[in-house]
Amino acid sequence: AAGATVRGVDVSYYQGNIDWKAAHADGIDFAVARVSDGTGFKDPKFTKNWNGMRDAGVIRGAYQFFRPKQDPIAQADLAIAMINDAGGTGDGDLPLMLDLEVNDGVSAKTLLARAKAWLDHVEQATGRTPMIYTGAYFWQQFGGPDGYEKYPLVTANWQTKCPAVPDSWSNWTFWQDADNGHVAGIPALVDTDVFNGSLDD
């Protein structure tokens, strides 16, 4: 990062029952909670996390683990519906994030086409540009296609001082810098994240 950064986490039901006020007091200013793994598994802690983050003053976001074999529109609709069922979005919430890290046996071309369908659908449905979570190690199979820099990048690159940025972007917006973080109020190890900017940004 060129300047200020903000600390956060991303979570799912694997982290158990989180005390978001304690996490916030421990320096966590934003968090991204999983809504589902494709269409087949709704995260049972999502609603609790979604409302707990807000109540604790933590800037909140949501992500969906993308399953390339499944219908991308059905996945997007499920994510949007689960957020709405949990109370919907408000001012200051982060845009929905697409978690791209598995092929599930489909070709790179098919995966990218289905991911783009998800991205377009979410943008149209929510009026906001979604974010993409991926890593250079995974994205390299696509050959650095154009048109993706409009989507804020959440790059995964653990235990390093400066993250690798996939070819389609020139910089990172968020960086998942570890998968084994210790944070007060979170009972299990947790993915830790950094935002490339200030809290106001």
Catalytic positions, please? 10, 101
What sign does the dihedral 79-31-120-69 (CA atoms) show?
A: negative
Is residue 63 within 8 Å of residue 28, measured between CB atoms? no
Q: Are 154 and 174 in contact (CB under 8 A)?
A: yes
From CA 50, how far away is CA 94, in angstroms rounded?
Answer: 12
Do 45 and 66 contact (CB within 8 A), yes or no?
no
**Distance separating alpha carbons of residues 170 and 55, to the nearest angstrom:** 35
